Amino acid sequence: MPELPEVETVRRGLEPAMAGQRLIAVEQRRKDLRFPFPARFKERLEGQRVTGLSRRAKYLVLHLSSEEALIMHLGMSGRFTVEMGDKTSKPGDFHYETTGTSPHDHIVFHMENGARITYNDPRRFGFMDLVPSASLSESKHFKAMGIEPLGNELDGELIQTLFTDKKAPLKAALLDQRLIAGLGNIYVCEALHRSGLSPKRLAGTLSGNRGLMKGKAELLATTIRDVLTEAVQAGGSSLRDYAQTDGSLGYFQHRFKVYGREGEKCPTGSCSGAIERIVQSGRSTFYCRTCQK
């Protein structure tokens, strides 16, 4: 699934096709994804102008002229495809008409500029919801959400505060969206390796001795920021079903140091260890037990 860098790449791909444009038609091919679509979904969208697109953690938000916000989550396999039309496109034209589509094309947005934006999601773990713009941050999706890892708040001191007394492994704590929101399985593995921290270490130990652990917590904050920033610059990571909105592939996956590299030699220069795969809370963790402590 798309983690923060993939969602940000999608946001940037959708922006030129949707920002400032009216939604002239919305095709809804099924009544639910992971959750039911909100009541009168199509009617509440059609005719509205998209005043902007933003991202919060792994969620995309379309801001609408109706003072509602369309919250979208891509789940594990959600993907948007943009086909740019032109201003003369109208029903019956290629860019408007529903042509031979995948059975997993669930939603199609037709924009006034002729662009057609298709949401495809084979596993249907994604969802869409409409909430009043004024109460966006108080919506059920965002209410309990933690800090944005690329925002200004994330630093070693905050990590120490968030992890105080936590008995969960570092891996689980970093995946907890109520603490830091936007990290997923891949980038947590990568950030921990770059930080030289074991995914099995209890999160509370990073703040257990504040003086001694301050440097480690600071390093972790920095590597989280670095790995996410580099991934966004690379257009995200393309595994199985993820691609950018124009169909091209992100290339950060070539820069993975540990994710998916079970059995390979640890890439840390001075380290003679090998990458192992273990399972933590039901998810694969890739790490090097020699240099991650």
Residues in contact with DNA by CB under 7 A are 1-3, 6, 34, 57-58, 73, 75-77, 103-104, 122-125, 141, 166-169, 172, 175, 177, 184-186, 236-242, 280-284
Give min distance, CB of 127 to DNA, in A: 9
Catalytic residue annotation: 2-3, 58, 283
The SS3 of residue 259 is coil
Nearest by Cα to 96 from 113, 79, 72: 113
Report the alpha-carbon distance of residue 140 to residue 153 in Å, rounded.
22
Beta carbons of 155 and 98 less than 8 angstroms apart: no
Give min distance, CB of 66 to DNA, in A: 24
Give min distance, CB of 73 to DNA, in A: 6
Residue nearer to DNA on the CB measure, 114 or 235: 235
DSSP 124: -
Residue nearer to DNA on the CB measure, 23 or 60: 60
Sign of the alpha-carbon torsion through 123, 126, 128, 129: positive
Please give the structure tokens belonging to residue 127.
Answer: 């969802």
Report the alpha-carbon distance of residue 112 to residue 22 in Å, rounded.
5
Give min distance, CB of 63 to DNA, in A: 20
Locus of tokens 């039901």: 282
Residue nearer to DNA on the CB measure, 41 or 163: 163
Report the alpha-carbon distance of residue 24 to residue 2 in Å, rounded.
28
